[in-house]
Structure 1
Amino acid sequence: MRFLLVALLAGLCAVSAVSVGNVDPEYSGKDTGNYSQKQKDVWRLFKYINQPSYYKDHVEIANNYNFYENKELYNKPEAIEEFYNYYKYGKLLQRGEIFSVFYEEHLEQAIALFKLFYYANNWETLYKTAVWARNNVNEGVFLYSFSVALIHRPDTYYIVLPPIYEIYPYYFYNTEVIQEAQYYKQLYYGQNARYYLERLSNGFGEIDYFNWEVPLKTGYYPSLSYPNGLQFPTRPNYVYLYEYFYNYGQKYGANKYAYSYTHVQDYERRIRDAIDSGYAYTKSGSKVDVFSQEGINILGNLIEGNPDSPYYQYYGGYQVFARHLLGYSYQPLDYQTTYPSALEHFETSLRDPVFYQLYKKLILYFYKYKNQLPYYTQNDLIFSGINVKNVEFDRLVTYFDYFYADLSNAVYVTPEEFVQDKFKVQVAQERLNHKPFTYKIYVDSDKDVEAVVKVFLGPKYDEYGRYINLTENWMNF
């Protein structure tokens, strides 16, 4: 993929920004508590996220605000105590260290900080708490927790967040592009089915299936680096994932990630057992019917390993260890010094081809589940009185177009440069686009009735030029 970097003077060229005049329709006519100012305040908090904020008002708040001495300003005192214990006893991930939600210790801290934001009883308290955290908490923990809190609080969910690829460009642009952005600054101052269909469009075939016992043939070299300069872990072709090979030269001890191979094997067996037997266990030993009305949700929670899993300690966090193992990550020395792979960040997962192989494996569990359900009857599927007579499509023409993104957060600035905010650098990235097209569906109906029409687009031929029978290929649409 080709990139073009362009250095811009602030004020001379337009840079990506949000139109703060477009309030969510649901809030029109209501008191949004000075929406425009909130929007600007939030965007200032995300500026140069990997450096402390040097705005004068931020520095004053960050140095003087004490959330623990203002417990009455939060709706849940226990949330204050939970985060304070992390802060007081030095258990927080230090600034400058790498954060990933796929490490349990990191996620627990992020949840504790999220509660601090979420239970602030008004905007002023939330803002002061966020400014304090912006300069005193790990950058990744802050970014994750504050973003999640903003979209869940009823008084802030309408606020538009900056694009994640501009907040944290390290996860979206390779090391060469990031270095060039810094160079220009120095000059200036001196979802799985879609991936399968796209593979067909480019002459590739089925997504590969992998087996834990067989060397993983798909290597990956991400060419990405973290803000602290560490390169993302790489995975050679045909690597062994057994614990002996995977951990060669690294410590075992109490490090649970060193036993990722054993964990995924245990969790996969228990997931299959739940589907085959028709029930899952709870912590108390009781059985839950996975083929009940809510069965698909029970199975989904079990596979995802989320808090609604019927028995998390038994069915575990499958993806946590699968992503660590497949990403070929180094074992963490402790929770402060982790070295996550591309698979251990949601922002970078889709770059690794093995991500789609992993999700193919997960989806096959749901197919295994569905195969044990009763077949649909004709009455379940028919839309009585409706007849689709014909469908017409325009020719779909695709092409590559340049997309511009602000890369300024990737460069380091002085406190004066931070406040003046004059330097801008953009990256021009080629992205697939298409010309406008229309389609027509001709329908006969013997009554007036509301209906939903779903349209699925995909290639007609496989990688060998053979026609794809839609009846046999339904799972990829």
Structure 2
Amino acid sequence: VNMDIKMKELCILKLLNHILQPTMYDDIREVAREWTIEDNMDKYLKTDVVKKFIDTFKMGMLPRGEVFVTNNELHIEQAVKVFKILFFAKDFDVFIRTACWLRERINGGMFVYALTACVFHRTDCRGITLPAPYEIYPYLFVDSHIINKAMMMKMTKAATDPVLMDYYGIRVTDKNLVVIDWRKGVRHTLNEADRISYFTEDIDLNTYMYYLHMSYPFWMTDDMYTVNKERRGEILSYANMQLLARLRLERLCHEMCDIKAMMWNEPLKTGYWPKIRLHTGDEMPVRSNNMVVLTKDNVKIKRMLDDVERIIRDGMLTGKMNAATERYHPEEP
């Protein structure tokens, strides 16, 4: 079916709407019910990718409703398989039918991650404007007390009762837009780093970093996806250097000391309290002050990092990488 860019965008928006719930659209449910991946393997560019996904799906994937974490090796491995089956669909029709099938069967967070990456890199998705990630899944971007106030407002007459509006710090504009003042109340802090939380927890800045990751995923290789990402490592390095420079500037504006190098063998003095509650009700873990970084449980990771640093330093000093170094694969933790 030939679709213009607006129709394609509408299909994607429907798939991403209320991602933590079963889809509310009958057309998506109908396609998800009628489409069978195993019976349409010829409609994908790489059948081995489809077979691997089907095997993984039958073995069991991250349950729906659970929290998807990109740092979890099993989660990201499954997400990459979902991405591949979407990416290697022969045309947009197969792509959108596969997406509908996945929308009704796999974890919502994993689906959003894989679908977003596909929209970024599929040629037939160019021009599609995705909703901001904080609109799809606000729990990772907005403090828990703000979401809690929004829920209380929904369950009460806070948007119309002046007393409740003042109590919850809610303001209604002329266009019936509800504004929640996040400064209403006492914000507890762990250390002086919270003085620049307006920068480190900025929604737009975190959205930029999310899009940067989607543009240059660490698991995407040129030989597999034939995606030309020239100087990808240099771009990522430059972006992080700029981010670090801006962080230094913000710290100096508040008369805070410069960023100190992290020492593995010493406790990490600065903790972090994200103040985020996930959709499952679980609080985002807090990194306490003076946390001991190096333990017996992660000593293998430390050894691997030391080896990688040594290889990079040797290459910079000698100007070349020997054959033994090129074949080196760090020990898996």
TM normalised by structure 1 equals 0.48
Residues 308 and 330, structure 2, Cα contact 8 Å, conserved in 1: no
Judge conservation of contact 2:272–2:287 (CA < 8 Å) in 1.
yes
Partner residue of 1:314? Answer: 330
Corresponding residue to 2:57 among 87, 92, 103? 87
Match of 2:304 in 1: 267
Alpha-carbon distance, 1:311 to partner: 5.3
Partner of residue 37 from structure 2, selected from 63, 67, 74 = 67
Q: Distance in 1 between matches of 2:318 and 2:25?
A: 54
Deviations 1:427-465 (A, max 9, x none): xxxxxxxxxxxxxxxxxxxxxxxxxxxxxxxxxxxxxxx
- Tell me if 1:225 matches 2:277: yes
Distance in 2 separating the partners of 1:312 and 1:33: 48
Amino acid aligned to 1:231: E
Amino acid paired to 1:131 = C
What amino acid is aligned across from residue 53 of structure 2 in structure 1? Answer: F
Query: Does the 8 Å contact 2:294/2:302 carry over to 1?
Result: no
Answer whether contact 2:32 2:102 (CA < 8 A) is retained.
Answer: yes
Shift of 1:192: 1.2
Tell me the equivalent position of 1:407: none
- State yes or no: 1:118 paired with 2:87: yes
Residue equivalent to 1:444: none
Distance in 2 (alpha carbons) for counterparts of 1:312 and 1:110? 27
Structure 1 ranges of 4+ moved more than 4 A: 309-312
- 1:211 is aligned to 263
258, 262, 286: which one aligns with 1:234: 286
What amino acid is aligned across from residue 267 of structure 1 in structure 2?
Answer: M
Matched residues in 2 for 1:83 and 1:153: separation? 19
1:98 counterpart (49, 54, 67):
67
Superposition deviation, residue 53 in structure 1: 0.7
Equivalent position SS for 2:104? helix
Q: CA deviation at 1:312?
A: 7.2
2:13: which partner in 1? 43
- Residues 187 and 128 of structure 1: is their aligned pair in 2 closer, same or farther, counting only changes over 3 Å? farther
User: Judging changes above 3 Å, is the alpha-carbon distance between structure 1 residues 49 and 310 closer, same or farther for their aligned structure 2 residues?
Assistant: farther
Cα 1:194–1:290 shift into 2, 3 Å: farther
Q: 1:311 to 1:174 in 2, by over 3 A?
A: farther
Structure-2 residue corresponding to 1:395: none
Report the 3-state secondary structure (helix = DSSP H, G, I; strand = E; otherwise coil) of the residue aligned with 1:278: helix
- Equivalent of residue 176 in structure 1, options 126, 145, 151: 145
Amino acid at match of 1:41: C
Matches within 5 A, 1:120-135: 120-135=89-104
Question: Are 2:131 and 1:162 aligned?
Answer: yes
**What SS does the corresponding residue of 2:65 show, helix, strand or coil?**
coil
1:151/1:158 contact within 8 Å kept: no
Contact 1:274 1:290 in 2 (8 A): no
Residues 49/115 of structure 1: CA separation in 2 closer, same or farther (3 Å cut): same
Identify which of 15, 24, 28 aligns with 1:54.
24
Distance 1:232 1:146 in 2: 25
Name the structure 2 match of 1:291: 319
Residue 142 (structure 1) aligned to one of 102, 111, 121? 111
Is 1:185 the counterpart of 2:185? The answer is no
Q: Letter of the aligned partner of 1:314 in structure 2?
A: P
Query: What is the letter of the counterpart of residue 169 of structure 1?
Result: P
1:290 CA drift (Å): 7.3
- Number of equivalent positions: 247
Distance 2:327 2:272 in 1: 34
Give the C-alpha shift of residue 103 in structure 1: 1.5
What's the CA shift for 1:71? 1.0
Distance 1:104 1:163 in 2: 25
Task: From the superposition, tell whether residues 49 and 202 of structure 1 become closer, same or farther in structure 2 (CA, over 3 Å).
Answer: same
- What is the aligned-residue RMSD (CA, Å)? 2.6
Deviation per CA, 1:404-444: give whole Å up to 9, x if none: xxxxxxxxxxxxxxxxxxxxxxxxxxxxxxxxxxxxxxxxx
**What do residues 42-77 of structure 1 show as CA deviations (whole Å, max 9, x unaligned)?**
111111111111211122222332111111211111
- Between Structure 1 and Structure 2, the one with more helix by share is 2
Relative distance call for 1:56 and 1:310 in structure 2 (3 A) is farther
Which residue does the alignment assign to 2:234?
A: none
What is the identity, as a one-letter code, of the residue corresponding to 1:117? L
Contact residue 114 and residue 149 of structure 1 kept, 8 A? yes
Residues 207 and 56 from structure 1, CA distance in 2 versus in 1: closer, same or farther, beyond 3 angstroms? Answer: same
Structure 1 unaligned regions, length at least 5 = 1-31, 245-258, 280-288, 299-308, 322-477
Normalized per residue, the structure richer in strand is 1
Query: Does the Cα contact within 8 Å between 1:175 and 1:225 map onto a contact in 2?
Result: yes
Q: TM-score, normalised by structure 2?
A: 0.68
Superposition map of 1:434-445 within 5 A: none
Report the 3-state secondary structure (helix = DSSP H, G, I; strand = E; otherwise coil) of the residue aligned with 2:123.
coil
